[in-house]
Amino acid sequence: MSTRITVAKGDGIGPEIMDATLEVLAAAGAQLEYDFVELGEKVFAKGVMNGVDPKAWDSIRATRILLKAPITTPQGGGYKSVNVTMRKAFGLYANVRSVRTFEPFVQSKHKGVDMVIVRENEEGLYAGIEYRQTRDTSHSMKLYSRTGTELIVRYAFEYARANGRKKVTCLIKDNIMKITDGMFHQVFKLIGAEYPDIAKESLIVDIGMARIADTPEKFDVVVCENLYGDIVSDIASQIAGSVGLAGSMNLGRGCSMFEAVHGSAPDIAGKGIANPSGLLNAAILMLYHIGQGEVAAKIGNAWLYTLENGQHTGDIAQDKSKALSTADFAKAVIGNFGKMPAKLPAFATGCGEAVRMPDAAATTKSVRVKRLVGVDVFLDKADADIAEMGPMIERCGTTSLPLKTVSSRGMKMYPGKPEVSALSDLWACRFLGKEGEVSADAIRMVLANLEGLGFDWVKVENLYTFDGVPGFSARQGE
């Protein structure tokens, strides 16, 4: 029975590599029907800021599977990345990228790399919630939900188990970001305990990435939040020499999206020289996903044989004079159907054990008492003298909600005398309840007092405790 899928040919080299991929799929006998849709540059040009043609939404809603070539995101001007839009709109919370080496057939700095990166896809800084509220400062909200974190961590362990993987490594920066990354780490330990058959490792992201760059062969499954995952998957693909070769899948609650790891490569677009392997591998992942494992293996093994046989596109060819065009590479793969790789590990014909997609988690509901205990009020004040401004702000506090600190860029500036003057025009004034809980009226009173003294408050962050644990970070120097 054939499966209907949505196909977007994308931008730059997209149409070339998609045509090559579809030719291979057809020749291999993949049971597929296509709904072609427009995503990307042509849609942006019509003034649709998210780059998604209205008809594409209906198609994806109906097929729930999207095979997508890379898309160019115009810089600036309010355009939204199509990739990020698709991930968020369809709840594609897991981005799974495999990183492999193909030595000695494809040159690489490392040997024996076989790693899978499971990247959280919807949250973190990629939530894209950014503000500029003063002339000098801008900020971006790094948003982690406990639910999203539990989903991605559990998915990583489920993926490891279903694919016979032995270890899951988590990358975090919880020595600095104790609330967000601290929660990610805590969830990793909590959920990891349910998988005694799988080894666990936690690394601070900076040294973790350095180790991945140095000894990638020691890593198996890596799980991390969005930005770290984006960076680490590019580092890993680059050092393995497989940026142009790797496919990735985006899985979640609404639908699944399969794409190459690389971008639209505008520098080589239209020349017919791009390597279609990344998209072809994405299509192989899709075939496994929809239960066409035999066709997936037929294409995958012919592709590996083609690499072993030295039939390469220019990006990986050792003898550039013998490099194949995109179309000829596709023909070479088709010509090698039925052949098996001699050295590289072959693709399996079965679809393997399906990865159990976890349901939304519920542990957040275990918090019993949430208390409002204070407020951080952010003021816009350029060229302020804190020795003069501090006591004025202090007067705006009330008996029940007094001023605790005034800080600049996370560093306490008042009370006390700072070592150096503040550079920015954004000041965070922390008012903390004397008796624990405070009322919204008390906060309104503080704001009115600040306004009364002519302060321009631009942002208010309420401070809560959860079962007594502060849900806000302490100030440096507090």
Distance CA 126, CA 142 (A): 8
**Which is it for strands 94-100 and 114-120: parallel, antiparallel or unpaired?**
antiparallel
C-alpha distance from residue 155 to each of 152, 221, 349, 356 (Å): 5, 11, 23, 7
Q: Binding residues for ligand NAI, how many (CB under 6 A)?
A: 19
Burial 410-420 (b: 16+ CB within 10 A, else e): ebbbbeeebee
- Regarding 268 and contact with ligand NAI (CB under 6 A), the answer is yes
Tokens representing 457 are 């408050």
- Regarding 412 and contact with ligand NAI (CB under 6 A), the answer is no
- Regarding 380 and contact with ligand NAI (CB under 6 A), the answer is no
Identity of the residue numbered 171 = L
Of residues 201-260, which lie at the interface with ligand NAI (CB under 6 A)?
Answer: 244, 259
Residues 6+ apart with CB under 8 A from 361: 146, 147, 150, 151, 154
Q: In the chain, what is the straight-line distance between the N-terminal and C-terminal CA atoms, in Å?
A: 66
Distance CA 171, CA 183 (A): 12
Residue 365 is given by DSSP the state G
Among 313, 317, 320, CA closest to 273: 313
- Regarding 92 and contact with ligand NAI (CB under 6 A), the answer is no
Among 394, 390, 436, 393, CA closest to 413: 390
Reported in sequence order, the residue ranges of 167-314 that DSSP labels E, i.e. its strands, are 167-172, 199-204, 221-224, 247-251, 256-260
Instruction: Give the one residue of 59, 63, 83, 311 binding ligand NAI; rule: CB under 6 A.
Output: 83
Identity of the residue numbered 345 = P
Among 292, 237, 252, CA closest to 147: 252
The contact pattern for ligand NAI, residues 28-67, with x = CB under 6 A and - = no contact, is ----------------------------------------
- Regarding 71 and contact with ligand NAI (CB under 6 A), the answer is yes
- Regarding 275 and contact with ligand NAI (CB under 6 A), the answer is yes
Between 266 and 410, name the residue whose CB sits nearer to ligand NAI: 266
Between 330 and 389, name the residue whose CB sits nearer to ligand NAI: 330
Between 87 and 142, name the residue whose CB sits nearer to ligand NAI: 87
For residue 67, the minimal CB distance to ligand NAI (Å) is 12
Between 85 and 424, name the residue whose CB sits nearer to ligand NAI: 85
For residue 344, the minimal CB distance to ligand NAI (Å) is 19
Between 21 and 405, name the residue whose CB sits nearer to ligand NAI: 21
Of residues 142-201, which lie at the interface with ligand NAI (CB under 6 A)?
Answer: none
Instruction: Give the one residue of 264, 292, 306, 311 binding ligand NAI; rule: CB under 6 A.
Output: 264
The stretch near ligand NAI (CB under 6 A) out of 203-211, 264-272, 340-348, 353-361 is 264-272
For residue 251, the minimal CB distance to ligand NAI (Å) is 15
The contact pattern for ligand NAI, residues 308-347, with x = CB under 6 A and - = no contact, is -------x--------------------------------
The stretch near ligand NAI (CB under 6 A) out of 250-258, 270-278, 302-310, 379-387 is 270-278
Cβ pair 99, 212 in contact under 8 A = no
Three-state secondary-structure class, residue 330: helix
Distance CA 178, CA 175 (A): 6
For residue 82, the minimal CB distance to ligand NAI (Å) is 7
The stretch near ligand NAI (CB under 6 A) out of 68-76, 187-195, 395-403, 429-437 is 68-76
For residue 258, the minimal CB distance to ligand NAI (Å) is 11
Residues that bind ligand NAI (CB under 6 A): 13, 70-73, 83, 244, 259, 262-268, 274-275, 278, 315
